[in-house]
Structure 1
Amino acid sequence: MGKKIVIGKIVNTQGIKGDVRIYPLTDYKERYEELEYIYIEGIDDKFEIENVRYKKELAIIKFKGLNNINDVEKYKNKYIYIDESQLRKLPEDTYYIFDLVGCNVYDEDNNLIGKLIDVIQNTAQDIYVVERLDEEDREKTKKVMIPAVEEFIKKIDIKNKSIIVHLIEGMLE
């Protein structure tokens, strides 16, 4: 079985007919309409999607064969997943966060800065969070924030898990 990708979390039930409320963990919540099935955390079986609708920021999903609240109550607070093969193809120079996390980050002189451990998404631009060893105390780590903009991010190589960045004075402090 291939790699599973988290795309949401079941936060509650909806009504009494077996629908669940899902908080999307994706930039494109309408993607649920494209799916025929998903997986629920801790369960190997596929859950076929019968219907999808939206209420504010939530997706409301009805699964085939689950027809009352008692059938779905046990899935509250569980994450939902898709197979890697169900991922949407991204435009060139666009990456999934899970592909970026774990990449080694280097400066333009090929000096290792650290490892990308998180991506903070905000309205202006994404911020790459890089964990690096503290120069003075090699037992400690520091977190460095690098804006994910063309000025700073020079090259991303997912295959080799590396990112080349342009640093400006004070960026690593």
Structure 2
Amino acid sequence: MKKINYINNQSKIFTKNLVTIGVVLRAYGIFGWILIKLFLDNKNIFFYTKKIWFFDPNSLKLFSVKILHKKNYKNYVLVNLYNITDRNLAIKLQGFYIQISIDYFPKLLSSDTFYWFNLIDCIVENIHGKLLGTVTEIIQNKAHSILRIIKLSTKIICTKKYKNKYGILIPFIKIFIKNVDIIKKKIIVDWN
């Protein structure tokens, strides 16, 4: 059975070998702590990282800040950063994405297990050689994962309400997924 290790669908921003693993929700307290929502199944990855990057979605700037302290807080993480000493400075980081190097992710032990970021932007062809499009998203489902495939020529302009209705949805299960080549960024499916 093919398996995907999740970060989750909200984590779509890539920068070279960096992967978005969370977002700053808000400032926490008066001493500059920030509250982070992680997109990881395994939050230990965040706690073992030595360096994190902040990505500002408005200015598209990327910068790193040294972490002084990290701790779990309910379903979130609280972080205290170097030179962020009060609430006003922490508020400025609200909405920034947290990124880490893919090198911090554990090596996968099975050849048919993948991280979701390995699959994003893979070209998808059916077993007859017909190009179906590119993987743009992986939807988590209780039963199995689902690949959202968008045709390369499709231009989607829509409201958030209709966003999820576009593309081809293919369950990521052995009966449909015939081959995944991460090196060539190509997935072969049994799908028309």
Task: Find the counterpart in structure 2 of residue 159 from structure 1.
Answer: 183
CA gap of 1:2–1:117, structure 2 versus 1, over 3 A, is closer
Task: Give structure 2 stretches of 5+ with no counterpart.
Answer: 1-14, 157-165
Give the share of equivalent positions with the same residue, in percent.
27
Task: Give structure 1 stretches of 5+ with no counterpart.
Answer: none
- In the superposition, the TM-score normalised over structure 2's length comes to 0.74
Match of 1:15 among 29, 43, 49: 29
- In the superposition, the TM-score normalised over structure 1's length comes to 0.81
| C-alpha contact (below 8 Å) 1:35/1:49 kept by paired residues | no
Spell out, residue by residue over 1:42-74, the C-alpha distance to the aligned partner (whole angstroms, 9 max, x if none).
Answer: 455422222222222211112234332233121
Matches for 1:59-78 after TM superposition, within 5 Å = 59-78=77-96
Task: Find the counterpart in structure 2 of residue 116 from structure 1.
Answer: 135
Range with bigger deviation, 58-67 or 12-21: 58-67
RMSD after superposition: 2.4
What is the CA–CA distance in structure 2 between the aligned matches of 1:88 and 1:65, rounded to whole Å? 30
Matches for 1:56-135 after TM superposition, within 5 Å = 56-92=74-110, 93-132=112-151
User: Which of structures 1 and 2 has the larger relative contact order (alpha carbons within 8 angstroms, sep 6+)?
Assistant: 2
What count of residue pairs does the alignment treat as equivalent? Answer: 164
Pair member with larger Rg: 1
1:37 is aligned to 2:51: yes
Cα distance, 1:22 vs. partner? 0.5
- Give the AA of the match of 2:43: K
Matches for 1:143-158 after TM superposition, within 5 Å = 143-158=167-182
Match of 2:148, SS state, is: strand
CA gap of 1:52–1:102, structure 2 versus 1, over 3 A, is same
